[in-house]
Structure 1
Amino acid sequence: KSDAKTCVLQVKYWRSVDPERSALYYLSRSTEPEALIVGLTPDTRYFVKVMAYNAAGPGPESERSEERTFKKAPQKPPTAVKVEAYDPTTVKVMWRYVTTSPDEEPLLGYKVLYWDADQDVESAHEVFVRLGEALEAYVRDLKPKKRYKLRVLAFSNGGYGTKSSPAWEFQMGTSTGGLLMKTHIPGIQKKRYSVYQWAAMRRIS
């Protein structure tokens, strides 16, 4: 009887158009009956076999299974991203629809990333918008006088797409103030100058 605590799973996989001798292997020591294999070619059929090992030795290979990977993630970023003040702790984000090509999976929705301006994007919070909903999102619970950065991307079964660029950078005003936007202007941006515009806090219908 296999001991799950000492069991090792070997996943053998190769493209269906290639011979089995070209297979790659993935070893998993997890007790879960699953493994995540990354770096595969999009929209491609693969053969897969699984074998278990324990202290008594290797077991038999499973039957061969064939699966197709998803197509590519969205390659184009959302454009015309705009951030507007909504209330003292909220901003409204808007953008344009992302179109996909035949070699990309259909869109499932969008994700808004926002984070403290002095932190890395890896620390970003997320707001999801499903496909079919309005192309807008509300980022709430922002802190007065705090500086933030924000980007938007589309996603599908193929993964997360390209982020909008450059990142929006903005600073919340006081509870009775407004929103301080940092706008990048072509030509000026190359000289590393920053232009700030004051937008009065207002409710947007």
Structure 2
Amino acid sequence: MEVWWSPVPDTRLAARGKILGYQINYWHESEVATDYKLFIRHEGQVDTGIVIGLVSDNFYWFTVQVYNSAGLGSVSEFFYQESLHAPAQTYPQEVRVYSAGRYEVIVWWRGVTVEQPESTIDGYVIYYWPAYEHYRTATEHISEGRLVYTARIKVEPGVVYALRVAAFSVGGFGRKSQTTGQKRDRRLPADADSGGIFVIIIPAKAISDGTDPDLCFICFV
């Protein structure tokens, strides 16, 4: 949940000291304000903050307080808000990759269906990155539309890629695709073997039998 507020002026008169940040208090609608124990602090003179760990499709109360070295300030008004539905809990299956030239591949997947209380799917995102690098270096390719099951992505020849697909919605990103029966390449780092598809793009210069020079081959390891 993202919470916004009008910050307190950082002046001696208004803040009675230097503002250190803001505290968001939150509790479920079934609880009472005097019992809440959950809060999250955001440092600095900010006007928004994120609350994580909420149960999807539930109502919560929120208040905000400024704080400085002397402690917490006055409590804001009470705000009542419903959390979003959860993202897709199932992942795309039967992910396949086809050559589309030396620098492109076509990715196909079988989409997912959602159930209550999951959000309606808005599209799919493809994560792909060189398998010898960390997942955080992944490139994201977004395909909007809940009935979209294919996408064309750009790749570099001669690179081993790891690739995964996930659905996304207003509730966030769903579970990422995995493959079964995957063999691990001992040359890959431990964090590269994350259940994804490993795609080897063979450069055209490796082809010497007179075949299409723009053709690339894809295999799974």
For the superposition of Structure 1 and Structure 2, which TM-score range results when normalised by the shorter chain?
Answer: 0.7 to 0.9
Query: Which residue of structure 1 aligns with residue 201 of structure 2?
Result: 172
Task: Supply the distance in 2 between the matched residues of 1:79 and 1:55 (Cα, whole angstroms).
Answer: 53
Change beyond 3 A, Cα 1:104–1:33? same
Map residues 113-152 of structure 1 onto 2, 5 A cutoff: 113-131=127-145, 134-140=148-154, 142-152=155-165
| CA contact 1:81–1:95 (8 Å) conserved in 2 | yes
**Hey, what's the Cα distance between the residues in 1 that align with 2:94 and 2:67?**
54
The reply on whether 1:36 has 2:50 as its aligned counterpart is: yes
Structure 2's unaligned 5+ residue stretches are 1-8, 180-195, 205-212
Q: Percent identity?
A: 27
Q: How does 1:30-109 map to 2 (within 5 A)?
A: 30-54=44-68, 58-109=72-123
Across the aligned residues of Structure 1 and Structure 2, the Cα RMSD in angstroms comes to 2.0
Deviation string 1:146-201 (CA, Å, 9 cap, x unpaired) is 1111111001111111111122211112232521311xxxxxxxxxxx5xxxxxxx
Alpha-carbon distance change, 121 to 57 in structure 1, aligned in 2, over 3 angstroms: closer
Give the structure-1-normalised TM-score: 0.81
Shift of 1:138: 1.0
Whether 1:154 aligns to 2:167 is yes
- What is the alpha-carbon distance in structure 1 between the residues aligned to residue 198 and residue 166 of structure 2? 16
How many Å apart are 1:90 and its aligned residue? 0.5
SS, match of residue 21 in structure 1? helix
CA change 1:63–1:117 in 2 (3 A) is same
Q: Is contact 1:153-1:161 (8 Å) kept? A: yes
Q: State the distance in 1 between where 2:146 and 2:31 align.
A: 40
Return the letter of the residue paired with 1:40. L
TM-score (norm 2): 0.76
Change (3 A) 1:131 1:180: closer
Residue ranges of structure 1 left out of the alignment (5+ in a row): 183-193, 195-205
